[in-house]
Amino acid sequence: MRRFPLALLLSAGLSSVLPAQTVTVGALPPSPNFAFSLDGALTVVDLAHPAPVAATLTSAAFNWSTAPCPAAVKLKFFRASPNGSFLLLAERGPYNVTSLLLFVPLSPPVDVQAGDLIGIARISSCGSPVGQSPGAAAGVIRFPSDVTSDVPGSSGSVSPNVTLSVQASGTATLPPTSPDPAAVVPVVGSTPGALGGSFFRTSVQLHNPGTAAMSGRLVYHPQGFSASASDPSLFYALVAGETRSIADLLPAMALTGLGSLDVAPEGNTALPLLSVRVFNDAGSFGTTGFTEELVTPADALGSGQRGVLVGPIDTARYRYNVGVRTLRSETRLAIVLRNAAGTVTRELARTYPSNYFEQRDSAAFLDGALLAANDTITIQVVSGAAIVYGATVDNQTNDPSLQLARRIP
């Protein structure tokens, strides 16, 4: 077998953000004519004027019923989840109200996606948010508290046909040029398993299916870290039709552990075909494992998309891990656990850095919730993009299987 020279590869480029047109979220109606009268803390979210495109918001303005009011107001940004929840993205403030119409900076700026919403919170008993009625048909939703985390829509009250007086402004952001890897092998490893003396390895066959030579690097990102310039890589070069075999990838790169692999072709060369097998190596007793395919960024779950993982049939006989590999952006996941009857038993959210990988046992992934037989885990990408998988391992044989969370149409 031919050996590969080891080399280091600079990390894939980071996202670039270019200025574009001015974007506003929310509205400042010309003639505010009422104040929200609830006593105590209050958060009002404008449902009628979402962000039209992704943007970086740098300033805001709002009307208030009374001035002055010290440290009375916070501005908040939400994303509506398909399950009816409002996911808190960011908040700024508290702000001192010094006039009935106040202009304030958003520091640091707030990044929003198309469809994100703005809200305003009263955090003292001085004054109230104001609005105009009649106003926008979609109106607002009110929560009787200073909302500081994700909140179900059912805990609020919708008021249609009113326009809340709060607006944030900034500049549209264009998508990054091409920071994503050409393709990803979501998980590779050379590492002891959790039980029974198991030891998992990763064999790789690279094949050039084209008629021209190709070259590039396999870049390893260890678990628990975002991709960095110091991540190790392995150079490959293949003539037309050639196939190379690596019996255990990570030791071939002088590595051990668990991580994720990028395929980075050089120049304009095409992607090689990879046949990757992750297996438990029982020595002379043989191997048990699965074949893992390359995943392109187009196959990842993108913002607003969802997929479902199905847990094992028997949680005593099988252990279950969930792996997440993010792409170019920080990625937020909304996670819903259901039992076999379809009843929701847990909801939670997770946020991962860009180009990050981790695999955790299901209880850790689900914030301590124990998976029951035939439970399902619905993964909704709130922002960013990720490849998510579930890995089932038989506790008797240590044989692993893998299910990718495929996009649901």
Given the complex with other proteins, which of 72 and 382 has the nearer CB atom? 382
Alpha-carbon gap, residue 120 to 43, rounded angstroms = 6
Nearer to other proteins, 175 or 196 (CB): 196
Strand-pair partners of 214: 238
Main-chain phi, psi angles of 262, to 5 degrees: -100, 145
Candidates 133, 159, 171, 401; binder of other proteins (CB under 8 A) is 401
User: Residue 231 in 3-state DSSP?
Assistant: coil
Binding track over 202-221 against other proteins, x by CB under 8 A? -x-x-xxx------------
Least CB distance to other proteins at residue 229 (A): 29
Q: How far is the CB of 403 from other proteins (least distance, A)?
A: 5
Q: How far apart are CA 167 and CA 28, in angstroms?
A: 6
Tokens of 390: 């579930």
Nearest in space to 288 (alpha carbons), one of 401, 404, 185, 196: 401
Give the shortest CB-9-to-other proteins separation in angstroms. Answer: 23
Residue 30 and residue 165 in contact, taking contact as beta carbons nearer than 8 Å? no
Q: Residues 217, 267: contact at Cβ < 8 Å?
A: no
Check binding of 59 to other proteins (CB under 8 A): no
Contact letters for other proteins, residues 71-110 (x by CB under 8 A): ----------------------------------------
Nearest to 169 by CA among 387, 341, 22: 22
Minimum CB distance to other proteins smaller for 146 or for 361 = 361
Those residues whose C-beta lies under 8 Å from the C-beta of residue 136, and which sit 6 or more positions away, are 27, 47, 48, 49, 161, 162, 163
Q: CA-CA distance, 378 to 390, in Å (whole number)?
A: 11
Token reading at 192: 């002891």
Position 191 contacts other proteins (CB under 8 A): no
Closest distance between other proteins and the C-beta of residue 174, in Å?
26
Could you say whether residue 242 binds other proteins (CB under 8 A)? Answer: yes
**Widest pairwise Cα distance in the chain:** 81
**According to the binding rule CB under 8 A, does residue 372 interact with other proteins?**
no
Helix (H) or strand (E) holding 184: strand 183-192
Helix (H, G, I), strand (E, B) or coil at 155: helix
> Of 268, 262, 279, 206, which Cα lies nearest the Cα of 238?
206
Which residues in the 298-317 window bind other proteins by CB under 8 A? 306-308, 310, 313, 317
**From the CB of 1, what's the least distance to other proteins, in Å?**
8
- Counting contacts by CB under 8 A, is residue 236 touching other proteins? no
Least Å from the CB of residue 101 to other proteins: 43
Indicate which single residue of 275, 297, 302, 346 sits in contact with other proteins (rule: CB under 8 A). 275
Candidates 4, 62, 279, 352: give the one binding other proteins (CB under 8 A).
279
Count of chain residues binding other proteins (CB under 8 A): 59
CB of 392 vs other proteins, minimal distance in Å: 7
User: What are the Cα distances from residue 98, in Å, to 68, 75, 121?
Assistant: 5, 16, 16
Q: Which is nearer to other proteins, 139 or 323 (CB)?
A: 323
Q: Which of helix, strand or coil describes residue 296? A: coil
- Residue 63 has a CB neighbour count (10 Å cut-off) of 22
Q: How many CB atoms lie within 10 A of CB 106?
A: 19
Q: How many helices (H) and strands (E) does the chain have?
A: 2, 32
99 or 397: CB nearest other proteins: 397
Positions in 340-359 near other proteins (CB under 8 A): 340-344
Tokens of 165: 């007086």
Pick the binder of other proteins from 65, 288, 321, 326 (CB under 8 A).
288
Of the candidates 133, 244, 297, 330, which one interacts with other proteins according to CB under 8 A? Answer: 244
Which residue from 145, 76, 86 is spatially nearest to 106, judged by alpha carbons? 76
- Decide: is 58 part of the binding site for other proteins (CB under 8 A): no
| Residue among 324, 378, 382, 388 that touches other proteins (CB under 8 A) | 378
Q: Which two tokens stand for residue 252?
A: 């071939």
Site residues (CB under 8 A) for other proteins?
203, 205, 207-209, 239-245, 247, 270, 273, 275, 277, 279, 282, 284-293, 306-308, 310, 313, 317, 338, 340-344, 374-376, 378, 392, 394-397, 399, 401-404, 406-409
